[in-house]
Amino acid sequence: MTDKGSIRIVNTVKEMQSLTNSMRNEGRAISFVPTMGALHEGHLSLMRAAKEKGDFVVVSIFVNPTQFGPNEDFEKYTRDLEGDLKKIEEIGIGAVFFPDVNEIYPDGHETYVEVEKLQKPLCGEFRPGHFKGVATVVLKLFNIVKPDIAVFGEKDYQQLQIIKKMARDLHLEIEIVGMPIIREEDGLALSSRNAYLSLEERKRALALSKSLGEIKRSFNEGNKDSSQLVELGIKILKESQIEDIDYLEIRDGKTLETKELAKPGDVVAVAARLENTRLIDNTKL
Ligand code: AMP
């Protein structure tokens, strides 16, 4: 364990478990924010919520290899512990859990968790194995930190539903809290992957939030036909030369089932690629 400034950095599972065990024995409520680092205001908003909801906040920074496909950006994902620590200094985090890959996946590791139905559509279709990796690492982190509360962003909407379902199905005594998407002033959802965008791609990326906004506007004006609403969104993406669209869909906000007629509470979710950068966004109707 090391102290960087005022933040305690924990690298091993054993130390993390004993730290939160002793906090729990002192009667403190532990709140937890799992991240992959490259922190931005979206992550910080989760940490502030965690701070309000618990007495001892643990943030994990771990780029989880099992949720990346073979041709994805695991290697190039931004790793900047010093920069991340500076950003979270003033929040008052109890500990940062920053393990090595071998600490989480020692040789011979072979146990995985799958949330069978919810993991299939949307991102699951285009990133096979992704949510198996996510559910597995989140359950591992839950068993290491044993939080009372865990805070996730609605930015990764499907991930949030999967984790809520896993917590229910596996009787985890953890309150799963979802927090709203933090955006740039012009509407672009904050993402660690925005750093990959060129200036020109950054401009075109705005079409994602714009298409969601237009769908919502049309829905509020009385258009409930899912396929018409989706058409409208796709037109906006294409106007910004976004052709590589994994999906733009309207689905039930909880079950993620498809909808012919949209209703309030449904989610509009989009994933598209700008050159090598895959971006996601969503909004609730
Ligand atoms: P990541 O580091 O990308 O794995 O994200 C860690 C957590 O931050 C997840 O719960 C994300 O949903 C959340 N998050 C990422 N971007 C945002 C955002 N723009 N607003 C709110 N939460 C976010």
The residue from 130, 146, 179 where one domain ends is 179
Residue 242 sits in the same domain as residue 158: no
Do 172 and 220 reside in the same domain of the chain? no
Residue 75 belongs to some domain of the structure: yes
CA 25 → CA 22, 30, 58, 223, 255, distances in Å?
5, 11, 16, 54, 37
Confidence check: pLDDT of 8 > 60: yes
* C-alpha distance from residue 246 to each of 55, 111, 278 (Å): 41, 29, 9
Domain-located, residue 186:
no
Q: How confident is the model over 24-59, as pLDDT tens digits?
A: 999 999 999 999 999 999 999 999 999 999 999 999
CATH of the domain at 122: 3.40.50.620
Inter-CA distances, 129 with 112, 152, 192, Å: 10, 20, 21
- Residue 159 and residue 45 share a domain: yes
Q: What percent of the chain has pLDDT over 90?
A: 98
What's the average model confidence in pLDDT over 265-281? 97
106 occurs within a structural domain: yes
On whether both 129 and 223 belong to a single domain, the answer is: no
Distance 180 CA to ligand 1 centre (A): 10
Structural domain of residue 174, as residue ranges? Answer: 2-179
Residue 5 has pLDDT above 70, yes or no: no
Output the pLDDT for position 248.
Answer: 98
* 24 within a domain of the structure (yes/no): yes
DSSP string, 99-153: --HHHHS-TT-------TTTTSSTHHHHSTTHHHHHHHHHHHHHHHH--SEEEEE
**Catalytic residue selected from 43, 109, 130, 171:** 43
* Same domain, yes or no: 101 and 230: no
Q: Which atom of ligand 1 is nearest to the CA of 43?
A: 8
User: Is 226 within the bounds of a domain?
Assistant: yes
8-state DSSP, 89: G
43 noted as active-site residue:
yes
Q: Is 71 exposed, middle or buried (0-12, 13-18, 19+ CB in 10 A)?
A: exposed
Residue 202, pLDDT > 90, answer yes
Question: CA-CA distance, 156 to 38, in Å (whole number)?
Answer: 16
Whole-model pTM: value is: 0.97
Task: Specify whether 198 is located in the same domain as 149.
Answer: no
Distance (Å) from CA 33 to ligand 1 centroid: 9
Mean pLDDT of 243-255: 97
Domain total for the chain?
2
Same domain, 51 and 153: yes
Tell me which residue has its CA closest to atom 12 in ligand 1.
153
- Per-residue pLDDT tens digits for 78-123: 999 999 999 999 999 999 999 999 999 999 999 999 999 999 999 9
**How high does pLDDT run on average in the chain?**
97
Rg of the chain in Å (alpha carbons): 19
pLDDT bin (cut points 50, 70, 90) of residue 218 is: very high
Give me the residue label for tokens 């532990």. 30
Residue 165: predicted pLDDT: 98
**Gap between the Cα atoms of 34 and 245, Å rounded:** 28
Structure confidence at residue 167 as a pLDDT band (50, 70, 90): very high
The residue among 179, 200, 230 that closes a domain is 179
Q: Assign residue 207 the CATH number of its domain.
A: 3.30.1300.10
Mean pLDDT calculated for residue range 232-238:
98
Confidence tier at 3 by pLDDT (50, 70, 90): low
Mean pLDDT of the 163-188 span: 98
pLDDT band at 21 (very low <50, low <70, confident <90, very high): very high
Do 25 and 160 fall within a single domain?
A: yes
Q: Which of 149, 179, 209 is the last residue of a domain?
A: 179
Whether pLDDT at 4 is above 60: no
Q: How far is the CA of 42 from the centre of ligand 1 (A)?
A: 6
Which of ligand 1's atoms lies nearest the C-alpha of 156?
A: 12
Instruction: Ligand 1, residue 190: give the atom nearest the CA.
Output: 19
41 alpha carbon – ligand 1 mean position (Å): 9
Q: Where do runs of H (alpha helix) occur along the chain? A: 13-25, 41-53, 81-88, 101-104, 123-126, 130-145, 157-169, 199-220, 226-239
Cα separation, 93 vs 167, whole angstroms: 24
244 belongs to a structural domain: yes
**201 and 170 within one domain:** no
**Same-domain check for residues 57 and 153:** yes
Protein residue whose Cα sits closest to atom 10 of ligand 1: 152
165, part of any domain:
yes
**Which of ligand 1's atoms lies nearest the C-alpha of 182?**
20
* H-run or E-run covering 271: strand 267-274
Pocket of ligand 1 (CB under 6 A): 35-36, 42-43, 45-46, 152-153, 155-156, 179, 181-182, 189-192
Residue 82 is assigned to a structural domain of this protein: yes
- Rounded to the nearest angstrom, the distance between the alpha carbon of 23 and the centre of ligand 1 is 26
Q: Per this entry, what is the length of the chain?
A: 285
Q: For residues 269 and 129, state if they share a domain.
A: no
Which pair of tokens denotes residue 67?
Answer: 């949720």
Same domain, 118 and 205: no
pLDDT recorded at residue 1: 60
